Each structure stands twice: as structure tokens, then as C-alpha cells.
Amino acid sequence: MQTIEQRLEQWKNELLDLTNRNRLLSFNTSTSRTSSISLVAPETGDVYRTLIDGKPLLIVGDERDDVAAIDEPMDPEIALAVIGAGDDPPPRPSAPPKAADAPLPPPIARPGTVLSAMSTEKTNNVAARLFTQARASEQEQGINTLFLALGRLKWREKPLADDRQGQPIGAKDGWRFAPLVLLPLKLEEITRKTSYRILAAGEDSEFN
């Protein structure tokens, strides 16, 4: 049986999760996951300024040809997610990018919108999940867990090994992405359109 001192030490250690399950340290950005929405347009600064000015942004899906088939980590500058320690499994090695006959045209967002890296159907499904999670956290715990993650730090736990030719081995394996700036958000459902929009929650952005 644990003593009081041992139990207190255990609780202190559990307050700070340094494993890859902590999304503040390891933010999985694969479009195959349903825990975040990577935003590809407009530019990060434009999205931030629009939200800070109190204007909403409608989340729309990317309907460019073949975009629905993309299933590798996006390495985004900006993403929408419910962030909390211990709610995201460690990222798995991703498959090589699928070959395309021609490169996709650059993503363009209409005024008043942000463009997701996923199709419209998948974007709305993930947004619905984030909406439910964020509302549950606010009702049950009184805290907002929905954030816009801006910028990212690319890091790894172990240095790369070199092969006999001096080339790095497994250059993509083990890389993690940590969000740098977090802006608290509100997510609103537009029932008549079955879509969602984001607004700044009125709180200051925070450095991770």
C-alpha cells in the first residue's frame, strides 16, 4: 500500500505528461485522423488577424481533384483542435505520399472562410466531433479546450543515425510537431447548412 508521500509524488508526476500522448508535445496532423482539422488557406497571419478582429470564419472542405485521397501528415502551419494532455495516441509511421499525375492547384479560400485539408464531408464530420468534445469539456469541467494551433516546432527524441554513405536513416521516422501559439476558440454549428464556423473566444493567445 502506498504511503501518503508516495501518492503525492505520483500525483505530481501525473500533472505533467511528457509522453507522445500529450498533444502539446506531439500534435498528429494526418488527415486520416479525426482529432484535428488542418487549415491550408488563407495564410496563418490572415486567419489570426481576422479572428482577433472578432470576425467569424466558415470552415469549408477542399474539393480540388484527388485531395480526398491524400492521407499523409500535412505538417501544417495552422490547425483547429481540442487540445488536452493524454487524448491523442502516439503517431504511427505514415505511408509514402501517393503519386499524382499532376500537382494540385494551390489552395484558395473564399473571403470569410478557412479551407480544410480534407474534403467537405470529412471536414464537417471532424468539426462535429470537435464541437461535441469542446461542449462537453465546458459543461462538465468549465474549461475551454478548443484552440487554433499556430506555427509548429519540429523535433525528435533521438538523433538520426547515418548509413555507410553518410545519408540519414529514417529521416521521417520519429519526427514530432509541437504547436507554438494557441488561440482559444468557439465553434458554432450552422444547422441549416450542416457546417461550422470558428470565432475567437475573447481570451488572449498563449505560447505553448
- φ, ψ of residue 127 in degrees (nearest 5): -60, -40
57 and 39 in contact (C-beta within 8 Å)? Answer: no
pLDDT over threshold 80, residue 1: no
> Residue 166: its pLDDT value, please?
52
Give the Cα separation of 177 and 29 in Å (integer). Answer: 8
The rounded radius of gyration (Å) of the Cα atoms in the chain is 19
Closest to 89 in 3D by CA, of 11, 159, 30: 30
Mean pLDDT, the chain, integer:
77
pLDDT tens sequence across 74-90: 556 778 787 754 444 44
The larger pLDDT score, comparing residue 50 to residue 1, is at 50
pTM flag (> 0.75): no
Burial (0-12, 13-18, 19+ Cβ within 10 Å), 65 = exposed
Mean pLDDT of the region 43-62: 94
Cell 461542449 locates to: 135
